[in-house]
Every structure is written in structure tokens, then in C-alpha cells.
Amino acid sequence: MDQLLTHTGGMGQDKMFSKAWYNEYFKRAYESPTHARFCEEVYGGDLCQHGMMDVEEMEFLASLLKPGEKVLEIGCSNGRITEYLAQNSGCSILGIDYSDVAIAQARQRAQSKADRPTFQCVDLIADEIPGEGYDTIVAVDCIYFMGDYDATIKKIHAKLKPGGRMIVAAIQVKEDGEAEDILKPGHTRLAQVLKTLSLPYQQHDFTPNVRNHWVKNYDYSRSLYADFAAEGNVFLADARIAENGWFKDHAERGTLARFLYVIEYNSAVKGES
């Protein structure tokens, strides 16, 4: 991911993935018919996604949640995935994100929902995670932005109830010079951290999905470019283009993997205070 950030720095997308950048992204994406079409084509359904989780993976994630469970979703953006999870599992869910624009959109939508997910603006690095005693904490494609995996996992784990679990969706890229087996189950950076922390987990493989995702992301950002431009939303197309060449290259070289990690609570997590 460090190489991606270096790469996107020169693509006309200033401070990509910062809070200000995400605010601009969601301000535009929320109202953009072309962004909705892009998501339909690339993810298999429009939930204003900005991660890499397609509909198949999301259905699987929803199937893991239980009615009445107390769930926290971190990095929830404008809450469309949160809504989907609430509707398809019957869980009670709080979504948090540091984009105040996205959280305002999520709250506005939730007003009309019977199952009413709730939302809060929280910076996962600077702020405390609200609440405690969660049955499940979900993180879809946001753990990369929160610094050290070890510290992040410990911070999230501390908010679980005994017997709870974390469900983390994350990719692993094999960059030059990294170990050959880093893409294999049990060897990714996150898997290595979980092992160090003595956290038992299961790894569900969505590698074919994510490789397919980046090819489609690359193709549709270009084929819909004129439509984005006609809306005044070149920013959105350029945002996708800034990252998808790098990822498509990794997908085609087979140096990209994706897993959904279901991580169990352990009362003896090493290093947790």
C-alpha cells in the first residue's frame, strides 16, 4: 500500500485518502448517476462503494451476522453497506467513519429506515472507538488507513464482548522484495499479526473476486469517463484511475490476494492493557 500511496501522489488527486479527499469524494458520489452505474457494473450492485467488496462477498458477510447482534462497522463511508448488512441480517448496527460528509449522508438516509442503523463521525486513529461489548466488529477495506495493523487490531479487539469476533476484509499485495508466500493463507501481513497476538481466525478466500474487480474498475472508469465529465465529476473518474492501473497490474501478475478474516476474541490477547 505504501507504493500505491506514492503512485497516486502524482495523479492529480491531492492528498488522496485523507479526510478532506474522502469528503470531496462522497459529496460527489452521493449524487452522481454515473457513479451509481459504475458501482452496478463493477461491484454487481450500487451501494456507493469505495472498497473492493463485490456483492457475492457482501452476501457472505451478511450471512455471518445474526439477528439482534450488537455490531459496529468501522470505515462505513456513507452507510449504504451498513444499511445492507442491517436489512439482510437483522443486526443492530452502528457505523463510524471520519468523513463528516459521508456520516451526514448516512444519517439522512437512516431517518427513513425502519431498522435504523446509527452513525457517528470518528477518526479511528485519533479518537476512542465509541461503545463497548460488541458481538461483532466489521471492517471492510479500511484497515490500511489506520496505521500499524498490530495496534489497530488490539484497539478493535478491546471493544468486543468476550466471545465476540472481528470480521476484517482486506487485500494483500506482494510488492517487490516481499516473501514469496505473503499471498498465502496464514502468511499475509494481517495473518502474521493475528498469529503474534494469539488470535484464532478463519480466512475466507476472495482472491478471484478482487482480481476481477480491478479489471472491471479499470475498464469502467475509462468507458464511463465522458459521462463523469458531463456531470462535472471528472474528479470521481480520476480518483478511480489514480489507483486502478496499479491494482490491475497486480491482479494480472497474480500478486494480489483478498481474504475475509473472521477473528475470534481471546481474553489473553498479548499486549492489550
Q: Which residues bind ligand SAM (CB under 6 A)?
A: 22, 49-51, 53, 75, 77, 81, 97-99, 102, 123-125, 140-142, 145-146
Kind plus residue range of the DSSP H or E element containing 186: none
Cβ–Cβ < 8 Å for 179, 185? no
Any residues with CB less than 8 A from the CB of 58 and at least 6 apart, and which? 47, 81, 84, 85
Nearer to ligand SAM, 99 or 217 (CB): 99
Any residues with CB less than 8 A from the CB of 231 and at least 6 apart, and which? 32, 33, 34
Nearer to ligand SAM, 37 or 187 (CB): 37
Extended strands (E) in 118-255: 118-121, 134-140, 160-173, 201-205
Closest distance of CB 135 from ligand SAM, Å: 19
Closest distance of CB 80 from ligand SAM, Å: 8
Nearer to ligand SAM, 61 or 191 (CB): 61
Closest distance of CB 19 from ligand SAM, Å: 7
Cβ–Cβ < 8 Å for 221, 38? yes
Position of minimal CB gap to ligand SAM: 51
Closest distance of CB 73 from ligand SAM, Å: 8
Nearer to ligand SAM, 142 or 260 (CB): 142
Measure the CA–CA gap between 71 and 59, rounded to whole angstroms: 16
Question: Could you tell me which of 210, 180, 201, 197 has the C-alpha nearest to residue 58?
Answer: 210
Question: Per residue in 66-78, is it b (16+ CB within 10 Å) or e — as a string?
Answer: eeebbbbbbbbbb
Closest distance of CB 162 from ligand SAM, Å: 26
Nearer to ligand SAM, 53 or 65 (CB): 53
